[in-house]
Amino acid sequence: MADSGSSAAAAIVASILQSNLESYCMLVAVTCVFYEHVTTLDDEVEFVWGNGINCPALLFYLNRWLILLWAISVLLTLAPANTLPNLAGETIEIMLYFVWAAFSATRVHVLTRGSLFWPIAVCVLSLVPVVTNIYTSIVSMTYQMVDIPLYGTTCVITEVLSSNAIFRFTIATRMCVITADLIVIGITWRASGGTLIEFRKVGIPRPVLRTLLRDGSLYFVILLILNVWQIIGNATGFFIFTVGVFGTPVCSIIISRFLFGLRRAAVDREMESSLSASQCSSKFSHIIFNRDDMSGDVLTPLDRPQDTASRIYWEEVSAPSSVLRTREQRVADVDVETYCWKSIDIEDY
């Protein structure tokens, strides 16, 4: 009896120590969320407010404010022991999974030109954590208030499932999420990588495509690393709550930053286009044309620009209507997908 009592006490002490470590990590995660909201509020006002409510704006607001509610609920768990805030945090986290799945599916839908197969596949794979979290975090756990001498009243969480079963659930969940991330990264590079290279060849900057490839790929690689880390943690028993503690805020922050980056790139693109048009108009206002050539072909200016971007604009403003070629048509001549750079923007996400 004494041995069983000491074993139970040791198990409770170990559970308390792990709970304290997780609480400290939760405090760090909550601090990151509040810091993110404070430091990016000006970006939200500049790039999101006043642009109307559409699908990407709705996803942004849901992601932005649900993670804030999640942080508040986590703070409540660090206050006097109570099971309600913990369950509230789990519920909010499940809601966030729906938002993230919709974000990834929408992104793939745009990049695949309206395809349904890949967006549905990404959405289903991204929603696997919803099912497993509901079962492992709510259904398969019991919560009990225990009065421990010299420590006080605390909530002891008991897992009904065996550690082996939980490990299998974790592996299956993380592998599905990893597969979804790899699909998103692969489709992003397949749809946009070649396009960006071709635009660089003709000297046309594409800030939106550059942001989509650079930031989008980097952010999803970070999520991929977190998921792999979670699998390693469960296999080794070291820091097994990696994704549970840091995965939720990191994923939310990544999506917000990505949307901010797209909007900022779109604004920069509009400013560059306006500036380029103004400069070209001023530069070629003095062009004199040779009208001796009456064959109907391109007229001959005295000063033909040499750089590609200016030459494209020169043809737009100086050629007769029979040979007028817009910038989009010139890009099509070098086999560049105009769909991507016209469509990829925050309005499409």
| Helix 83-111 / helix 248-283 crossing angle, nearest 10 deg | 40
Q: Looking at the predicted structure, is the pLDDT value of residue 121 above 90? A: yes
CB count, 10 Å around CB of 42?
9
Summarize pLDDT for 125-178 with one digit per residue, the tens: 999 989 888 877 766 667 667 666 666 666 666 667 777 777 788 888 888 988
Q: What is the pLDDT of residue 343?
A: 39
Best CA proximity match to 155, nearest among 213, 106, 85: 85
Residues 6 or more apart whose Cβ sits within 8 Å of residue 119:
105, 106, 108, 109, 112
Phi first, then psi: give them for residue 116, nearest 5 degrees: -105, -30
Of 16-25, 221-230, 308-317, which one has max mean pLDDT? 221-230
**Spatial distance between the Cα atoms of 242 and 21, rounded to a whole number of angstroms:** 12
Whether the Cβ atoms of residue 305 and residue 298 lie closer than 8 Å to each other: no
Whether the Cβ atoms of residue 288 and residue 318 lie closer than 8 Å to each other: no
Tell me the domain boundaries of the chain.
Answer: 15-274, 282-343
Reported as a pLDDT band with limits 50, 70 and 90, residue 10 is: low
Q: Looking at the predicted structure, is the pLDDT value of residue 200 above 70? A: no
Mind giving me the DSSP string for 318-329? Answer: HS-GGG---HHH
**Is the entire prediction scored with pTM above 0.95?**
no
Average pLDDT over residues 33-51: 85
Tell me the CATH architecture of domain 15-274.
Answer: Up-down Bundle (1.20)
Cα torsion 250, 255, 257, 260 to 10°: value is: -170
- Tell me the β-bridge partners of 145: 155
Q: What is the pLDDT of residue 202?
A: 46
